[in-house]
Every structure is written in C-alpha cells, then in structure tokens.
Amino acid sequence: MSTDVDKLWDLQQVVSQLSDREEQLNIKPDSFAAVDREFQNANEEMQELEQSLEQISKERRSVDGELQDQQELLKKYQGQLMQVKNQQQYAAAWKEIDSTRKHVKELEDSVLKSMAEADAVQKQLDERRGGFDDLKARYDAAHAEWQSSLGELRSEIEQLRKKQEQIESGLPSNLLREFRRVARQRHGVAIVETTGDTCTGCRTRIRPALAQQLKRGEFVTCEGCSRILYLERSAS
C-alpha cells in the first residue's frame, strides 16, 4: 500500500518527465532550423521592402500634391502676365513665374527620383518573391517531416498525461494543491529525496524530530526550501 507521499513522489517523476518531453517537442531539429531561419529572414526582408515601397509612395503622393499646386500657381501668374499695365508689373510677374518654375522643376526632379527608387525596391521585392514559392515549399516539407517524426514523443506525452491524471485522482486535494504550489515556486520540483538526513533540493539538514516523522511515512516539508521530503529508499 503506497502512502500519499509515495504517490506524490510518483507524481513528481511523471511531471518531470512530462515537462522534459514537452520541451523536446519544441526543439527544432537542425534539418528544420536552417530552412526556418532562411524562411523567417526572407519574410522579414520582404516586409521591409514592402514598407519601404509604401513609404516612398506616401512621400510621392505628397510631392505630387505640391507639384499640382505649384503648376496651378504658375498658370495663374502666366495669366497675370497678360494683364500687366507697365514695365514694373511685368518685371514683378516675371519674377514670380521664374521662381515658381524653379520650384516646379525641383518637384518634378524629386518625383523622378522617387520613381527610380520605387523601381529599384520593386525589383528587389520581385526577386525575393520569385524565389519565395520554392523556399516556402522547402520550409513546409521540412516542417511536416519534423512534425511527423514527433509521433512517438506525442504518444509518450499523452500516456504521461493519463498517468498524471490517474495519480492525481488518488490524492487528497489539499496535498495536490500543496504539491502544485511548491512546484510553481521551485522550478517544477515539489518533492525531493533526502540523503543522510539532508534535503537534496537545498542541502538543509533535517532536524531529528522531522526525520522521525519522515521515517513514519508522514508528510514533512523541508525547512530550507519548503519542498516535500521523500525518504531515500536505501534508508527505509
């Protein structure tokens, strides 16, 4: 007949194995990790290129708007030129036209520059997209291969979970709560073996009175680390 402490000990073995297997489930094998890195990099790169295209087109729209305004202004000044009444007005109108034309020219240059920039970025993006289907296929294949290799591990995890439930259902709920509380605080390890009246979790010595209780199979926790203590088998 196993005591509650024995059951807690068994539960700890199952819980520790479970957390180890679950960790293994997330470790990417080298065969997948390489293509995964390549895939993530390509995605990031394409995202950056798309953002930069968007930024160029945003700037372009604002320059286009300003260019339109300046062109209209230029038309207005050219109209005014027809209505000048003297040399002084003529000179003034010309001055306005001249400076507006310069401004229009600058804006047109800026439009050309941004078109060239957009073309260059678009070209890079097209190149990236061109190779992407192939990369995606390699990524998917490596991922599927990795996942299918985990079948054994998954069924092992399933069995461990069943075992965990089974042990837990045979334990009083207050003990189970205590087990879980200590496990949360102590990196998943709620119960530890003793060795020669010492806690193997924190090396605290167990007082003789507690050691006696432990020998009687009672529920004892370590005064150093609060873990539940399990009497080493050779001593029992």
Positions in the binding site for Zn ion (CB under 5 A): 199, 201-202, 204, 222, 224-225
CB of 26 to Zn ion, least distance (A): 30
Which CB sits closer to Zn ion, 130 or 208?
208
DSSP string over the chain: ---HHHHHHHHHHHHHHHHHHHHHHTPPPHHHHHHHHHHHHHHHHHHHHHHHHHHHHHHHHHHHHHHHHHHHHHHHHHHHHHT--SHHHHHHHHHHHHHHHHHHHHHHHHHHHHHHHHHHHHHHHHHHHHHHHHHHHHHHHHHHHHHHTTHHHHHHHHHHHHHHHHHHHTS-HHHHHHHHHHHHHTTT--EEEEETTEETTT-PBPPHHHHHHHHTT---B-TTT-PEEE--GGG-
CB of 2 to Zn ion, least distance (A): 23
Which CB sits closer to Zn ion, 15 or 199?
199
CB of 214 to Zn ion, least distance (A): 13
CB of 206 to Zn ion, least distance (A): 9
CB of 201 to Zn ion, least distance (A): 4
